[in-house]
A and B are shown apart, each in its own frame.
Chain A
Amino acid sequence: MNLDDLADLAKQYRAVDQQVTREIRVCVAASCQSSGAGPVQDALVTALGTELPDCKVKGVGCMGLCSAGPLVAVAAPDECLEEATLYRDVTPADADDIIGTLDGAPLERLHCPTNQPFFARQRKIVLEHAGLIDPDSFKGYVAVGGYAGLIRALSEMTPSDVLREVTTSGLRGRGGGGYPTGLKWSTVAKMPAEQKYVICNADEGDPGAFMDRAILESDPHRVIEGMAIAAYAIGANKAFVYVRAEYPLAVERLHTAIRKAKRSGFLGNKIADTQFNLEVEVRLGAGAFVCGEETALMASIEGLRGQPRPRPPYPAESGLWGRPTLINNVETFANIAPIIREGGDWFAAIGTERSKGTKVFALAGTITNTGLIEVPMGTSLRDIIEVIGGGIPGGKAFKAVQTGGPSGGCIPSQHLDIGVDYDSLKTLGTMMGSGGMIVMDETSSMVDVARYFMEFCMTESCGKCIPCRTGTQQMHSILDRLAKSQGTRADLLLLEELCEVVQATSLCGLGQTAPNPVLSTMRYFRDEYEAKLSDA
């Protein structure tokens, strides 16, 4: 199969729904489902009946503005979200009204303008199909140009061409570390082994982060396509998706996507009539945060206790069952198809000098528009929070934004004008992390924030190395005393000392970064700690 054959296939799939001129898109990702999108979809199907054959109710992925869910968009099949009529907070009772106004003016009561900055200021690459296509439909993905990256790689490129394209793109790992993806791929590709593996890390566990979940729930084929391209580039024939069991919808959609891709010859043996084979298997995580750490994740796939091991050897050299293994995050793989399709140079033109492309962020906390956004690297925090996020509700003042989850830190208002990329966040004492952003207003106590994240690290510590196992527990007890205004100056000094030891001596990233929330809140809000001392 070549690109022309794929284009014919896409045309054929588009022709199936030729008579449809209007789509009623209902978000069926987890956040809208939790606010009742399922009944809304059923009510819309019932209300539509069979009278309008040119109109179709379609379940789609995340449209981003989760705080306004359930979201329903009415649009022509080829129209994007900005061109659609969007309705917010839809209930099943609104179904008749929505169907009734299909031909007239939009229903004012529920209308949610799509020209507002939340939509207009985004740049979508990873989420280009989220909210447009039915995540369970293989045909829907191919119809919008899906699998063109894979077919292009298989039919027109050698593995080293693929590696060069990914290296040129300047893509860096989206799981948090920001390791150059091209370098990681070529390291595994150069390993002289018979058997290699590809792993997609979907064990997203940071509090307040749901980027990977939304990608898997909205566009699972895109991740599979990225993994297949990676497997072709490094010479692997077996891939795993390690996804946490708390994402049942994502797991179900992944299974469906893998089954359908396999049935259509895009996975399995002789993919697209070439000599390339790839089996993809889904493995479920049982709820341990540490299994997002790559060596613990691999131990878990092997059926062992999910505990990290010392690196080196890195997975690229000795990973799953001792074989060279490529392990990337969901969002990283989701970037691959467009890079191969459009070229590395196209991707490299987006973003900043050292951080290319876009980044998906999950906005949470006290912010008007909570939800999922995708912006170019280098977009300022102020733009993200005040313009796209709509600022703080209730007239309260902004205090800090927490990035990077339990490994990250808090950024106070004086640094809001920096552009977000891997390096700028590091200089502020935090990190990109997987992309969760928790916004806090003036009523939040920073000592409480630090205590919350330390409690998280303490309960999620696997218990292997001493500094993380007992250090987090001791730091938490000190923070607890401080938060209750029972701590002394000596406690504060001990806390600082423990932060340093745990950071420097822990075995894996979880322990090494566990003190970050404490260190960054101490750096910017030390007065709050001082004010809580009992011997102040």
Chain B
Amino acid sequence: MPLPANRPNVRVVTLQIDGQDLSAREDETIIEVCREHGIPIPSLCYLDGLSIWGACRLCLVEVTGQGRLLAACSTRVTEGMQIQTNTETLQRYRRTIVELLFAERNHVCSVCVSNGHCELQFMAQMCGVDHVRVPHRQVSYPVDSSHEMFRVDHDRCILCTRCVRVCDEIEGAHTWDVMGRGSDCQVITDMAEPWGDSDTCTSCGKCVQVCPTGALVKQGTSVGEMVKDQHFLPILARRRHIL
């Protein structure tokens, strides 16, 4: 039998998500399949076009036969997989995680430039967080406005590292990274120098666009004015991949 011109090296599998029968390529992750079919799964660190980080734990799903919850962003689909994305337990866990995030730093929506366009705010609404039960951590962080176009406010950072990844993987500058550990982690530019003094930053602004909150913003924006555009990312990432 002659070989097909394009030898298929990935198979297509069928699986069930929330009772819905779906098909997917076996190299796809659960979250990709969910997004494709409009099944809502909350997530913060995941962004189409960037590498998988698996840290926000909001996209955890229940997979039948698995003892542990699995992150939808870092788990590939397999044949016959049965997935539950929105059980009561998952909802409760997600609510607690979002509450923990709100309590970690100083997220006051009413005075934030990203108010109304913030992914953390959207997650809170989606997960039904109407109040925060844990005490706020109350640690103050400085604001770095040394860059002529952008500003970083660590008080609104959720440490999703999208900025770190986009800068390294798409722009290729690797200006951003993380220092410290535990709750003291902080995103830094170069060797924890002021952003404005950075030799490596190309001022492309990709980090600002992918930041889910008001941590990275354009200078000169006021409350609710910082609208972000992330459409460039999957296009750029795929073009990169083809070349």
Contacts and interface: CB of A to CB of B under 8 A. Distances in A.
Contacts of B230: none
B181 A473 contact: no
A408 B55 CA distance: 24
Nearest to B182: A461
Contacts of B104: 466, 469-470, 473
A474 B101 CA distance: 11
Interface stretch (B132-140, B147-155, B207-215, B220-228): B132-140
Interface in A263-303: 288, 290
Interface string B182-200: 1111000000000000000
Nearest to B98: A466
Interface in B57-104: 57, 60, 68-69, 71, 74-75, 89, 92-93, 96-97, 100-101, 103-104
B96 A501 contact: yes
Contact of B74 (A305, A310, A458, A473): A310
A33 interface: no
Given A469-B159, A473-B137, A462 B57 contact: no
Contacts of B180: 463
Interface in A445-478: 458-467, 469-474, 477
B185 A501 contact: no
A309 interface: yes
Contacts of A494: 133-134
Nearest to B102: A470
Given A459-B182, A463-B181, A310 B52 contact: yes
What does DSSP make chain A's interface, helix, strand, loop or mixed?
Answer: helix
Interface centre among B74, B92, B97, B181 (most CB of A within 10 A): B181
19 contacts: A290-B181, A310-B54, A310-B74, A463-B159, A463-B182, A463-B183, A465-B55, A466-B55, A466-B56, A466-B57, A466-B100, A466-B158, A469-B185, A498-B96, A498-B134, A501-B93, A504-B89, A504-B93, A505-B93
Contacts of B93: 501, 504-505
B55 A458 contact: no
Given A466-B55, A498-B96, A504-B69, A473 B182 contact: yes
Interface string A484-504: 000000000010011001001
Nearest to B96: A501
B178 interface: yes
A-B pairs, top 6 by smallest CB distance, nearest first, are A463-B185, A310-B74, A310-B54, A470-B100, A461-B182, A505-B57
Contact of B71 (A305, A310, A463, A501): A310
What does DSSP make chain B's interface, helix, strand, loop or mixed?
Answer: loop
A506 interface: yes
A495 to B, nearest CB: 10
Contact of A474 (B52, B60, B103): B103
A463 B56 contact: no
Contacts of A461: 181-183
A507 interface: yes
B178 A463 contact: yes
Nearest to B104: A470
B182 A497 contact: no
Contacts of A463: 159, 178, 180-185
Interface in B26-51: none
Nearest to B95: A501
Contacts, number: 94
Interface centre among A462, A464, A497 (most CB of B within 10 A): A464
A505 B95 CA distance: 12
Given A470-B100, A477-B135, A465 B57 contact: yes
Interface centre among A460, A461, A497, A505 (most CB of B within 10 A): A505
Nearest to A494: B133
A497 B134 CA distance: 11
Contacts of B97: 466-467, 501, 505
Given A310-B74, A473-B183, A494-B133, A464 B55 contact: yes
Contacts of A474: 100, 103, 134-135
B56 A309 contact: no
A290 B185 CA distance: 15
Given A461-B182, A467-B57, A474-B135, 6 more contacts: A310-B75, A470-B101, A470-B183, A474-B100, A497-B96, A507-B57
Contacts of B69: 504-505
Contacts of A467: 57, 97, 100
A467 B183 CA distance: 11
A467 B97 CA distance: 6
A319 B52 CA distance: 16
A469 B137 CA distance: 12
Interface in B120-147: 133-135, 137
Contacts of B57: 465-467, 505-507
Contact of B54 (A309, A459, A460, A469): A309
Contacts of B100: 466-467, 470-471, 474
A465 B182 CA distance: 9
A305 B184 CA distance: 15
B182 A507 contact: no
Nearest to B158: A466
Interface centre among B60, B182, B184, B185 (most CB of A within 10 A): B182
Contacts of B133: 494
A462 B96 CA distance: 20
B182 A469 contact: yes
Interface centre among B96, B137, B185 (most CB of A within 10 A): B96
Nearest to B185: A463
A467 B44 CA distance: 14
Contacts of A290: 181
Contacts of B68: 504
Contacts of A497: 96
Nearest to B134: A474
A71 B1 CA distance: 77
A98 B185 CA distance: 56
B7 to A, nearest CB: 19
Interface in A476-534: 477, 494, 497-498, 501, 504-507
A322 to B, nearest CB: 13
B213 to A, nearest CB: 13
Contacts of B96: 497-498, 501
